[in-house]
Amino acid sequence: MGDIKTKTDRIKELTELLNKAGKAYYQEAEEIMSNKEYDELYDELLALERETGMVLSNSPTVNVGYEVLSSLPKVRHEAPMLSLDKTKSVEELAAFLKDKEGILSWKLDGLTVVLTYENGVLMQAVTRGNGEVGELITNNAKVFVNIPLNISYKEQLIIRGEAVIKYSDFEEINKTIEQQDLKYKNPRNLCSGSVRQLSNKVTAERNVHFFAFTLVKAGGDEAYLGNIDKQFKFLKEQGFSVVEHKMVTGENVGEAVEYFKAAIDSFDVPSDGLVLMYNDIEYGRSLGRTSKFPRNGIAFKWKDETAKTILTDIEWSPSRTGLINPIAIFSPVELEGTTVSRASIHNISIMEGLKLGIGDEIEVYKANMIIPQISENHTKSGKLTIPDKCPACGGTAEIRSVNEVKSLYCTNPDCVAKHVKKFTHFVSRDALNIEGLSEETLEKFIDKGFIHSYRDIFHLDDHEDEIVNMSGFGRKSYDNLLAAVEKSRTVNLPKLIYSLGILNIGLANAKVICKEFDYDPEKTVNAAIDTLIEIDGIGGVIAESFVEYFKNEKNRKEFDELLKELKIEKAEETNTESPIAGKVFVVTGSVERFANRKELQSFIEARGGKVTGSVTSKTNYLINNDTQSNSSKNKKAKELGIDIISEDMFMELVGEQ
């Protein structure tokens, strides 16, 4: 074993050294070793790879063949991946262990990936997805920085780990992006996008690392499955990087937590906590699971770091819906490694509950180490004046109570802030999805008079010279923006309706309404309240919002202008001959034969059926694989005499087993 370990370590050492020499020679025009020395080390590496059967993905002996795919296929996991229960208490960690040994490790913040090796060769890589079905990313995994393409173990090997982009690499990638609003927000988002690229050339450029944390299957050899400590040692011998970990007991788990806590500031890999697992795998499995979580492990989240400061002001921020949100401004404090001076208060009810007043001593924290919040007000003076004018337009502001929550609203329909926010919503991902039109860019275009209505977005080419010469733009950015605008001209009706920002109309509601009127724009926008209320899932409030919006002459004119600019995609034809045509379904619980519930919903709708969110007297079937559960939907279905069927029973009903 010691000999194998020495050889695998030497392979890693040689790979790193030769890659460094290659980069210096080809990219930096420097020579850190002679050609003779390089060739000798290369030959040594090649011999070791042949002897051990281990080849790292970034080995200079591997010629990467880049490949572009049209889509990422879906793959069902051999064993479902479950989330762990969480705690912020070290005492709970000790109580969890009792007299057992555990493994405490980083909880890495990237994208979970499952690797499968057959006969020592990487055959498949799949993302976590929904825990049961993930996306196939084998081509991308082959260009991760540190995974072996070949290993010495020849039985089937399945492992789980986290794909991550290190902070240092994240910062380097962001340095190459000039436009501030195009920079990546955090390493996790960048990693997720990098791992799920259709071109693995892009993945290779992003320096994705992989750290193994679970051995799922190792042929039929149970010796590797006895405890996690053995698993990690075995995986290291095969050339994998494993997540940093410590063996702990109830007595010393606190010391281990302190070790990791002290290491956070210098740890280059994104992490959002720790994971504690029983070292004895069989014991952990024997404990089973609760209704939500397995009992063999627990996640530890860092306690929220708090700081005392002085409230200096309340800033009122208008939104596209007219809601004016209060934002606390306070003396800057350090939290979780960053300086913060602002925190959203959300509404007047929360503000009054905290009894906030200018000059009060407050305590702030970052919820989940990300979002600044006020946890406590030590002074509680309550000396705050709520404005009666909108700070953006000067129009009348009034307090309204919705579901017993008080909030401030601007009553001016032509408020400038409403315009910026409404255009931001119009171009957002679930709406027209126009990349390159950030809120900051829209503000500039509105200020310069380029945009007054939705229609103007499709005629930005009228201002080509001015946009190309704007600060932060240029020819390439302009061309990319125009291409995105042209692409957005083809859209389906639900997305178009959602893009208008009608109060209470989300994308799901828009889909239900449009489907009811056969995706006909004219019929849809002329719908009457009485007709809309009859649609399952559409209540009086939603119906009234929808009708009132299109009764407004200005809104209707703007919509009609949009229709002249856009090509409305036709909805897929439904199978009216299907046995389920016209039937109403509700889907609950996990699904097995479909990737997720949305896929099942699409399957039903393509055959003329309907899917709603709640069980009512109009429901024909409730689909739940746990037909005997005591869930609220099952109880409601039983009360109404509605059939509860499993997926298998549903497929029998459809006649497509």
* Active-site annotation, residues: 107
DSSP string, 211-254: EEEEEEEETT-GGGGSBHHHHHHHHHHTT--B--EEEE-TTTHH
CB-CB neighbours of 117 under 10 Å: 22
**What residue spans of 433-569 are helical by DSSP H?**
439-447, 464-468, 475-487, 493-499, 507-516, 521-525, 529-533, 540-551, 553-565
On whether the CB atoms of residues 604 and 620 are closer than 8 A, the answer is no
Q: What is the 3-state secondary structure (H, E, C) of 391-434?
A: CCCCCEEEEEEECCEEEEEECCCCCHHHHHHHHHHHCCCCCCCC
On whether the CB atoms of residues 195 and 163 are closer than 8 A, the answer is yes
On whether the CB atoms of residues 267 and 244 are closer than 8 A, the answer is no
**Four-residue CA torsion sign, 595, 600, 605, 608:** positive
On whether the CB atoms of residues 25 and 36 are closer than 8 A, the answer is no
Q: Which region holds residue 399: left if phi is over 0, alpha if psi is between -120 and 50, else beta?
A: beta
| Selection from 391, 398, 105 nearest residue 269 by Cα | 105
Q: What is the 3-state secondary structure (H, E, C) of 460-478?
A: HHHHHHHHHCCCCCCHHHH
Q: Name residue 144's amino acid.
A: F
CB-CB neighbours of 107 under 10 Å: 19
CA distances from 297 to 96, 242, 300 (A): 8, 18, 10
Q: Name residue 522's amino acid.
A: E
